[in-house]
Amino acid sequence: MAYFKITQNKKGEFQAKIQVSGKDVSTGKSKVFTKRVYNTDNLTEAKFKKQVEKTAISFEEEVLRAYRDGKEQLRSKVLTFAELMREWKAGIKSGLSINYYERAEKVEHIFGEFLEQNGLADKPISAITVRDVQRFLSSFTTSGYKSSPKARLKKPLPKKVNFRQLARENVIDRCASYNLNKKAANIEKETAEMLCDRCGLAYDEYFETVIVEKLYAAETIKGYRRILRALFNEAVRYEWIAKNPVCATKVGAEKGNTSLRPVAEKEVFTVKEARAFLRKLDEDIPDDEMHKKVVLKFILLTGVRNGEMCGLKWSDIDFDKKVVHIKRNRLYSKQFGYYEKEPKTKTSVRDIPLTEDLIEDLKKYMDWFRLADNEFDDRLDEYYLAVNVYRQPLYPQSIGQWLTFYERKWGMKHVTCHGLRHTYCSLLLAQNVPIQTVSKYMGHSDSTVTLKVYSHFIPDTQDAAISALSRLTD
């Protein structure tokens, strides 16, 4: 007779375990056979229960038939790593998790090579042990990968090389030139060749090409581990293995997610620097390049992610309520091209208030679009905000290139696009905006994430606390 029990996992998803009493084919002794059912179709509890009841009856008949026919195996064939990875990747691809899919392909290649070298490529996935996975992960801590070609200075450059002029021409910035001359640092080979071309120097006389081997970052190795853990969870779900061998492995000595590190002050603009940056955007960028000014200003004054900026459409701007609706990411993959997906997390779908200054810029920006399309106002859901001069959607890396160009041109410190997002958050906290409000606008899952990364930007309130307590005794 079949028995089953329906439970819920940590995510609130229904699952069931079916048990059927039968007999072992080889010994003839009584044996309990189990089968797990997962609510992959997101059925209600009542409908899922009916599905489990039908599955239990079918499973019981399968057990009886297997003993009668002398079959020892009820389960399907246990797949190899490569076979299971192909099946699993197909599911990821159909779900539009493109970045995850590409990382899975990387792991498929390097872990597949490891299994081949150790005679495990043709073995079922159940043959792969904790030690095998740990050896694979540990191999990245002792060996590195080769970087792109770098240029190393062989002898001092002649005095005719004017680094100020080269910086103005965006050949090499002052910081890189200082490190090149004073600290013997390497620079990109392409930069060195451009420098020699501008100054009339022979590259081979002053530079030598070097290939530097870099160690893998702990977060990169942890990324490989996450892919393998998800894959082996599939094997557990199919009951090919009882425990996931990846869960018992370790990467480095750090605890927790090191990507949630406090943001350094050098990665953001101060209040003074942010004002100077906004002023330069208004003063130095002409109207025919308004698309660059608005995009950079928009990121700084809303804290949106790069992918969210590229995914914004004009229909997402609510001028009446003075907010922007964050609904999608627009990303690019070399393998799949441009694609859209939902924002990073559920809380990333959010509304962010817009400043009056930014609203005025957006209205002028709309006029810039109308110059190219008289029907623009009827097609707001077709046009993206982040576009090139031809009003076509931007390549995501273009924003970072614009930002770097203007920072060098204006002699400002280098802050990345994500650094502008960090700046937005740090400026709000510095002005004592409540942490819950800041977390909401940033799209964080909860305020603890905001505190862990940005708490050092919150002004010290010790004096205010002492003053408040002192008033109790007045």
List, for residues 55-100, the tens digit of each pLDDT value: 888 888 888 887 777 655 444 567 899 989 988 887 776 655 677 8
CA nearest neighbour of 438 among 339, 302, 343: 302
CA angle 103, 105, 109 (to 5 degrees): 120
146 in Cβ contact with 212 (< 8 Å) = yes
Is the confidence at residue 247, as pLDDT, over 80?
yes
Long-range contacts of 446-451, Cβ-Cβ distance < 8 Å, separation of 24 or more: 446/347, 449/260, 450/425
Q: Work out the mean pLDDT of the chain and round it to a whole number.
A: 87
Please tell me which residue, 420 or 37, carries the higher pLDDT value. Answer: 420
Report residue 468's pLDDT band, with 50, 70 and 90 as the boundaries.
low
Reduced 3-state DSSP string for the chain: CEEEEEEECCCCCEEEEEEEEEECCCCCCEEEEEEEEECCCCCCHHHHHHHHHHHHHHHHHHHHHHHHHCCCCCCCCCCEHHHHHHHHHHHHHHCCCHHHHHHHHHHHHHHHHHHHHCCCCCCEHHHCCHHHHHHHHHHHHHCEEECCCEEEECCCCCCCCCHHHHHHCCCCCHHHHHHHHHCCCCEEHHHHHHHHHHHCCCHHHHEEEECCEEECCHHHHHHHHHHHHHHHHHHHHCCCCCCCHHHHCCCCCCCCCCCCCCCCHHHCCCHHHHHHHHHHHHHHCCHHHHHHHHHHHHHHHHCCCHHHHHHCEHHHEECCCCEEEECCEEEEECCCEEEEECCCCHHHCEEEECCHHHHHHHHHHHHHHHCCCCCHHHCCCCCECCECCCCCECCCHHHHHHHHHHHHHCCCCCCCHHHHHHHHHHHHHHCCCCHHHHHHHHCCCCHHHHHHHHHHHCCCCHHHHHHHHHHHHC
How many angstroms separate the CA atoms of 328 and 346, rounded? 11
Report residue 286's pLDDT band, with 50, 70 and 90 as the boundaries.
very high
Lowest mean pLDDT among 44-48, 168-172, 198-202, 467-471: 467-471
User: How is domain 265-457 classified at the architecture level of CATH?
Assistant: Orthogonal Bundle (1.10)
Q: Average pLDDT in the 436-444 region?
A: 94
Q: Average pLDDT in the 241-247 region?
A: 90
Burial 341-356 (b: 16+ CB within 10 A, else e): bebeeeebebebebee
Lowest mean pLDDT among 212-216, 221-225, 322-326: 212-216
Is the confidence at residue 187, as pLDDT, over 90?
no
Q: Average pLDDT in the 257-275 region?
A: 84
Q: Average pLDDT in the 10-36 region?
A: 81
How many angstroms separate the CA atoms of 110 and 93, rounded? 20
What's the pLDDT tens digit per position in 127-167?
999 999 999 999 888 777 666 788 899 998 998 898 888 88
Q: End-to-end CA distance of the chain, in Å?
A: 78
Please tell me which residue, 75 or 331, carries the higher pLDDT value. Answer: 331
Long-range contacts of 403-410, Cβ-Cβ distance < 8 Å, separation of 24 or more: 403/296, 405/170, 406/280, 406/281, 406/284, 406/285, 406/296, 408/167, 408/170, 408/173, 409/170, 409/284, 410/276, 410/277, 410/280, 410/284
CA angle 431, 437, 443 (to 5 degrees): 115
Q: Average pLDDT in the 338-361 region?
A: 91
- Tell me the three state secondary structure of residue 210: strand
Residue reference for tokens 């076979």? 83
224 in Cβ contact with 137 (< 8 Å) = yes
Report residue 462's pLDDT band, with 50, 70 and 90 as the boundaries.
low
Q: Work out the percent of the chain whose per-residue pLDDT is above 90.
A: 47
C-alpha distance from residue 293 to each of 276, 288, 406 (Å): 14, 10, 10
CA nearest neighbour of 309 among 423, 373, 400: 400
Q: Average pLDDT in the 404-433 region?
A: 93
Q: What is the CATH number of domain 81-144+217-248?
A: 1.10.150.130
Amino acid at 95: G
Is the confidence at residue 303, as pLDDT, over 90?
yes
How many angstroms separate the CA atoms of 74 and 240, rounded? 12
pLDDT of residue 461: 59
Is the confidence at residue 3, as pLDDT, over 90?
no
CA nearest neighbour of 434 among 422, 421, 450: 450
Report residue 199's pLDDT band, with 50, 70 and 90 as the boundaries.
very high
How many angstroms separate the CA atoms of 12 and 354, rounded? 36
pLDDT of residue 270: 94
- Tell me the three state secondary structure of residue 252: coil
Helix axes 271-284, 397-409, angle to 10 degrees: 100
The yes-or-no answer to whether 81-144+217-248 and 265-457 have a common fold is: no
Report residue 466's pLDDT band, with 50, 70 and 90 as the boundaries.
low
Return the domain boundaries, the chain. Answer: 2-69, 81-144+217-248, 148-211, 265-457
141 in Cβ contact with 215 (< 8 Å) = yes
Q: Average pLDDT in the 7-35 region?
A: 81
pLDDT of residue 346: 85
